[in-house]
Structure 1
């Protein structure tokens, strides 16, 4: 609770009638009150300008101008705290030590990865792995953070010899989806599952007869509803903000399980490709 607002609440019952009514009016929306001139506040609250001045002095302020500044400053502090909670979370404070931050991050990430893997539809993973391992072409698509995860997955599967592409540009992704056919795969990542671009790329691939796979956090999202196979993450907005921090860990956990399952289904090809790629880059690795 902000300082001036807390002070108003604590004094409200002890104030004279006019000042009590004014305090109640201010407390309903401190930011709106701070935006008014003394005349505007007088008319809106139905009290005299003298009552406003007297309330300001009761609060230890010289006059209404200082009260406005105090209310505005409190609003700014509330906005900052709200922004922090939305982006970082309530479990990590501004003055927490690095050790406390590290412990909170570790616990939160471990929790979301564990919940995601435990909740995975393993039958869907089996089918997805088999389709990708045998696909003539696999197209991946994601926007924002999901694009980063798609690119990481593409690099891993490319290394074991699979024909796979990853796109973050919608036009290019739609072009690729339009060239798919039966025996091909489109895998689309979208945390919320409501991104229009993700939905349209998936729909285009489906219209061409390709297997469609959605990696999303919402089983009832438009993306999930239109996918043949759905691999769900399990992210809850606790501690660190889900969209900003946790979604990528959950998505990578799903993709890690899927990657190993795909690699298993082409074991001979996988091991041969791994050996060849390791040898190709050996001269560029430091010799310890």
Structure 2
């Protein structure tokens, strides 16, 4: 998992000292190659203990492991072109807006891919395959993703439904247990209604697959399996365009992998598409 991507994902939740280390790493990562933890602390203007805590927050045992991960990221970036400046302004033409938005989306897709390991996808696919019933729970913009995912799973013949109404979701989850699966989608991981449903699922020993932003949040802590979406700087505030791009990528990877893993499911998806075509054009 990319260290730089993890740092970007965690930036909104970092303390002032951690934010200084994050900014230094992202802007001057090459300098870390030759720095000790004491020297990094001095250059970033923080204490040495802050450096160690920062490394541990990113999932590393200490500074040496963090330093090696940064070096690996720098080596991967070598030779790759720098992304073009893509802030959208009021003066931009429609063509330029389209080009800049494409740059944003490509960056989010790349970072989402780097943020999620194969093992995480495999665990999610295994949980979906073995679930007798699947409830997808989300609110706001994330609910459109839940609906889309439920429809895709239904095409494979899997017993999945999406619920945005908390009372309906709570009623359904009350009958679910260890052989079922709750898929909770929340960018922040703090949506109160989704958390309440997740707590009920956890009390029932029902496994939880969570799609949320990387970092510590209540939903992440309750989940059995976590996939991480990327939260980029949105071109329009509160539009969640880039978040949906990231969530959609995760959902599509799972759907394609599920479809390709089972010939019977492939045929079901084909029949479902044919049936929907007939309804639309008859």
Same fold, TM exceeding 0.5?
Answer: yes
Residues 132 and 180 of structure 2 are in contact (CA less than 8 Å); yes or no, is this contact kept in structure 1?
yes
Does 2:127 match 1:125? Answer: no
Residues 108 and 240 of structure 1 are in contact (CA less than 8 Å); yes or no, is this contact kept in structure 2?
no
Change in Cα spacing, 1:92 to 1:170, as seen in structure 2 (3 Å) is same
Does 2:220 match 1:224? Answer: yes
CA distance in 1 between partners of 2:133 and 2:170 (Å): 14
SS in 1 for 2:257: helix
Change in Cα spacing, 1:136 to 1:258, as seen in structure 2 (3 Å) is same
SS in 2 for 1:203: helix
Match of 1:161 in 2: 157
Alignment length (residue pairs):
197
Does 2:204 match 1:200? Answer: no
Segments of 5+ residues of structure 2 without an aligned counterpart are: 1-85
CA distance in 2 between partners of 1:236 and 1:278 (Å): 33
SS in 1 for 2:99: helix
2:264 is matched with which residue: 260, 269, 279? Answer: 269
Match of 1:81 in 2: none
Change in Cα spacing, 1:244 to 1:279, as seen in structure 2 (3 Å) is closer
CA distance in 2 between partners of 1:147 and 1:245 (Å): 13
Does 2:108 match 1:112? Answer: yes
Match of 1:147 in 2: 143
Counterpart mapping for 1:216-255 below 5 A: 216-237=212-233, 239=235, 241=237, 244-255=240-251
Q: If the length of structure 2 is used for normalisation, what is the TM-score?
A: 0.65
Q: If the length of structure 1 is used for normalisation, what is the TM-score?
A: 0.64
Residues 133 and 263 of structure 1 are in contact (CA less than 8 Å); yes or no, is this contact kept in structure 2?
no
CA distance in 2 between partners of 1:100 and 1:200 (Å): 43
2:275 is matched with which residue: 277, 280, 284? Answer: 280
CA distance in 2 between partners of 1:261 and 1:151 (Å): 19
CA distance in 2 between partners of 1:232 and 1:167 (Å): 21
SS in 1 for 2:240: helix
Match of 1:189 in 2: 185
SS in 2 for 1:94: coil
Aligned-residue RMSD, C-alpha: 2.0
Residues 234 and 240 of structure 2 are in contact (CA less than 8 Å); yes or no, is this contact kept in structure 1?
no
Q: Per-residue deviation at 1:241?
A: 4.3
Counterpart mapping for 1:85-96 below 5 A: 91-96=87-92
Tell me the alpha carbon deviations over residues 150-197 of structure 1, each in whole angstroms, 9 at most, x when there is no partner: 000000110111000100111111111111111110010001111111
